[in-house]
């Protein structure tokens, strides 16, 4: 039985799938199986997979006669997985050689963590490297951040197989590729999640990416999933506008008026105690959650101030009460944004 099962769905991916497979076979941690699921491809993808399966017994080829979609392909691979850990991999990305070695070491050292991702670097269709995307490191901030954006980069994640199985695998009915967000929202509350600071994955952005072609549908479904999570796990009812506003903060989509900013501030203030209680055994995590919440409240206060609204003072008071030290973090964040322009 292998320690790691790598699950890689692919549909018409002949252009990059070979490079993706080679990046897995070239890992410094070699006790793995690579399950490649051809989801009804009509190009040469099955031939490329078969070539590597002949060369290396760790490559296990699975084939769907017709295209069933990303979630079903994922679940085909996950149900076949024999490893203690399941590592995700997309067929157009590249895992750097020490990815699995680093992630396995982390999960073994932190048995309370159910899933760990990493930073990743953008590459284009020619493999030219661009900017680095980093994600929240601590379990508290990673869980809290799930309320605003997906704080785990799906193709960089390694998770415990038992937890994914207990969650019922990847759910059906998700639109635009939000299966990972559905799973990670649950894992962030039922166990703990984290990210490693180093770049362990090269993430390819090109015309064929699912996130590029299905963005609107994906964001609409993420709102649905966030509302369901808040209701079932946090006991808080969010309207669709509430969820849209929360997720908008991560993309600089801010409330249209001071009243909307005040409502969003009240929601953030209401959510903080849930997460503080959840992570009350870790002062570091509590401090990170409070600081992040405070920064968001200072932002809303500044937006209300620009509109000359008296709501600005009440939002500032909420920010200070939530985290007295968050003003400095907010000023530093604004300064960084200005310098980047």
Q: Do 258 and 321 fall into the same domain? A: yes
Residues in contact with 51: Cβ distance below 8 Å, sequence separation at least 6, in sequence order: 18
182 and 244 assigned to the same domain: no
Shared domain for 52 and 196, answered yes or no, is: yes
- In a shared domain, residues 163 and 300: no
pLDDT value for 177: 83
pLDDT of 227 strictly over 70: yes
Work out the pLDDT band at 119, boundaries 50, 70, 90: very high
pLDDT at 213 (0 to 100): 52
Distance CA 253, CA 242 (A): 13
pTM of the model: 0.92
Percent of the chain with pLDDT over 70: 96
- Pair (298, 335) in one structural domain: yes
Q: Identify whether residues 79 and 126 lie together within a single domain.
A: yes
Do residues 36 and 142 share a domain?
yes
Domain boundary among 214, 244, 277: 214
Same domain as 142, residue 268:
no
Predicted pLDDT of residue 111: 96
* Residue 234 lies in domain: 217-340
**Which pLDDT score, from 0 to 100, does residue 170 have?**
95
Same domain, 226 and 199: no
Q: What integer pLDDT is reported at residue 209 of this predicted model?
A: 54
Q: What is the mean pLDDT of the chain?
A: 93
Tokens representing 156 are 């960089």
- The answer to whether residue 208 scores a pLDDT higher than 70 is no
Structural domain total, the chain: 2
- Write the CB contacts of 128 (distance below 8 Å, at least 6 apart in sequence): none
pLDDT of residue 147: 97
Confidence of residue 253 (pLDDT cuts 50, 70, 90): confident
Residue 7: is its pLDDT beyond 70?
yes
Q: Is pLDDT above 80 for 229?
A: yes
Last-in-domain residue among 192, 214, 236: 214
The average pLDDT across 68-86 equals: 95
Judgement on whether residues 242 and 192 belong to the same structural domain of the protein? no
Question: Binning pLDDT at 50, 70 and 90, where does residue 340 land?
Answer: low
> Domain with 169 in it: what CATH number?
3.90.550.10
Does residue 124 have a pLDDT over 90? yes
Quick one: pLDDT at residue 110?
Answer: 97
pLDDT at 137 over 80: yes
Helix boundaries (H) for the chain: 17-25, 45-55, 70-80, 99-109, 139-145, 161-166, 179-190, 210-213, 215-229, 240-248, 258-278, 283-306, 311-322, 326-340
pLDDT in tens, 316-338: 999 999 999 999 888 887 766 65
- Portion of the chain with pLDDT greater than 90, in percent: 84
Q: Give CA angle at 136 (155, 157), nearest 5°.
A: 20
The answer to whether the beta carbons of residues 9 and 35 sit under 8 Å apart is no
Beta bridge partners of 133: 120
Model pLDDT for residues 16-34, shown as the tens digit of each residue = 999 999 999 999 999 999 9
Residues 254, 161, single domain; the answer is no
Q: Do 282 and 137 share a structural domain?
A: no
Asked if 87 and 6 count as a contact pair (C-beta separation under 8 A), the reply is yes
- The residue among 172, 189, 214 that closes a domain is 214
Is residue 171 over pLDDT 70?
A: yes
């Amino acid at each position: 039985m292998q320690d790691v099962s790598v699950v890689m769905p692919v549909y018409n991916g002949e252009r990059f799938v070979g490079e993706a497979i080679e990046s897995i076979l070239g890992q410094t941690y070699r006790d793995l199986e690579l399950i490649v699921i051809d989801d009804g491809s009509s190009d040469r993808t099955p031939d490329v997979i078969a070539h590597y399966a002949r060369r290396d017994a760790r490559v296990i080829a699975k084939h769907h006669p017709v295209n069933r979609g990303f979630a079903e392909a994922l679940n085909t691979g996950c149900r076949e997985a024999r490893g203690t850990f399941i590592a995700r991999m997309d067929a157009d990305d590249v895992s750097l050689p020490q990815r699995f070695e680093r992630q396995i070491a982390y999960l073994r050292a932190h048995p309370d963590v159910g899933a760990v991702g990493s930073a990743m670097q953008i590459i284009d269709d020619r493999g030219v490297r661009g900017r680095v995307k980093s994600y929240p490191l601590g379990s508290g901030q990673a869980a809290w951040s799930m309320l605003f954006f997906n704080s785990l980069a799906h193709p960089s994640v390694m998770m415990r197989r038992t937890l994914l199985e207990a969650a019922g695998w990847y759910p059906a009915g998700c639109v635009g590729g939000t299966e990972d967000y559905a799973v990670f929202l649950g894992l962030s509350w039922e166990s703990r999640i984290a990210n490693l600071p180093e770049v362990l994955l090269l993430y390819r952005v090109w015309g064929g990416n699912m996130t590029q072609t299905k963005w609107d549908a994906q964001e609409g479904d993420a709102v649905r999933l966030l509302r369901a999570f808040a209701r079932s796990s946090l006991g808080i009812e969010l309207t669709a506008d509430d969820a849209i506003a929360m997720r908008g903060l991560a993309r600089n989509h801010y409330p249209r008026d001071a009243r909307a900013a005040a409502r969003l501030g009240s929601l953030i203030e209401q959510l903080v105690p849930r997460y503080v209680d959840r992570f009350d055994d870790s002062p570091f995590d509590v401090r990170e959650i409070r600081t992040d919440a405070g920064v968001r409240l200072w932002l809303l206060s500044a937006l209300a101030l620009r509109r000359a609204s008296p709501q600005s003072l009440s939002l500032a008071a909420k920010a200070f009460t939530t985290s007295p030290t968050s003003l400095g973090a907010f000023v530093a964040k604004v300064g960084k944004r200005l310098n980047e322009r």
